[in-house]
Amino acid sequence: MTDVRPVLVLQHAPHEGLGRISPALGDVPYRVRTVLDDPQPRLPGVDALSGVVVMGGPMDADDVAGHPGLAAERALLAAAVDADVPVLGVCLGHQLLALALGARLHRRAGLEIGFAPVRLVADDPVVGALAPGTGEGSATVLHWHSDTVDLPAGATLLASSDVTQVQAFRAGSAVGVQFHPELDAALLDLWLRTPDMVAGLDEHEVDAIRSDGARHLPALAGPAAAAFGAFAGAVRARG
């Protein structure tokens, strides 16, 4: 591809990589930036981008005092939605997207760590691909969060769980997912070998996540490829 605007990937921890998102983008160029602790990061304008992907991380999405770069991320996300630029927010990225659209963050309101189902409650080209059909159903995915967000005004709720009402939503060109459909076996193995990720988990909990990953991740490969392929299709359409 030539003269294609890149996708900007905002990363918050070295181990929070793209996983299954990367092959879906294929030949679409992307640039990875980490601006967490930069009080005045120089981010590109949305007119220079074909899409924005915001990954997870251990920090609170509203901790601008501790991580001033989060304010610039939120401003970029708001501008991207206004400009109809495709946006994908995962976990922390989902929370940052919600905050950028005026919703509230609730700290320590919904601890979920491990594989468990989410209920799909509305059809969507991205999230709906995780449970193909009529926009209803469930998918077993990896959860790793304790904060939750309210649904932004005007957004469509796409998925919920018993613990976390807003597991996924769409707002125009943007979709946020609180869970981790990007996980493949290699990325999960990296997480389980990263001390910051498993701090607070005992050996049995880590073993259970590893065992559940071996059982559930293969079945998610096709649906996740379709979901991220739909996002990549929106990116390519913008060009």
**pLDDT digit string (tens) for 5-29?**
999 999 999 999 999 999 999 999 9
pLDDT digits (tens, 9 = 90+) for 35-49: 999 999 999 999 999
205 is catalytic: no
In total, the chain counts a number of residues equal to 239
Residue 137 lies in a domain: yes
Among this protein's residues, is 180 annotated catalytic?
A: yes
Question: Is 232 inside a domain boundary?
Answer: yes
Domain membership flag for residue 2: no
Q: For residues 66, 73, 161 and 125, what is the CA-based torsion angle, rounded to 10 degrees?
A: -170
Structure tokens at 214: 């071996």
CATH of the domain at 67: 3.40.50.880
Name the catalytic one among 16, 73, 112, 182: 182
Strand duo 168-171 + 174-177: pairing: antiparallel
Q: Is 134 exposed, middle or buried (0-12, 13-18, 19+ CB in 10 A)?
A: exposed
Q: Which of 16, 91, 94, 143 is catalytic?
A: 91
Question: What is residue 1's predicted lDDT score, i.e. its pLDDT?
Answer: 47
Query: For residue 158, what are the domain limits?
Result: 7-238
Residue 202 DSSP SS3: coil
Q: Does residue 1 lie within any of the structural domains?
A: no
Structure tokens at 235: 């990116």
Name the average pLDDT for the chain. 95
Query: pLDDT exceeding 70 applies to what percent of the chain?
Result: 97
Instruction: Say which residue the tokens 């193995």 belong to.
Output: 189
Q: Comparing C-alpha atoms, which of 141, 135, 126, 132 is closest to residue 227?
A: 126
Phi, psi dihedrals of residue 175, rounded to the nearest 5°: -130, 135
Query: Would you say residue 189 lies in a domain?
Result: yes
pLDDT for residue 134 is more than 70: no
| CA angle (16 as vertex; 95, 210 as ends), nearest 5 | 105
Output the six-digit token pair for 174.
């943007």
Q: How many domains does the chain contain in total?
A: 1
Helices within the chain (DSSP H only): 21-25, 69-82, 92-100, 185-192, 195-198, 203-238
Does residue 73 sit within a domain?
yes
Q: Is residue 80 part of a domain?
A: yes
State in Å, rounded, how far the first CA of the chain is from the last one.
Answer: 9
Kindly state whether residue 122 falls inside one of the protein's structural domains: yes
Q: What is the mean pLDDT of residues 91-107?
A: 98
- Quote the tokens at residue 136: 């209803």
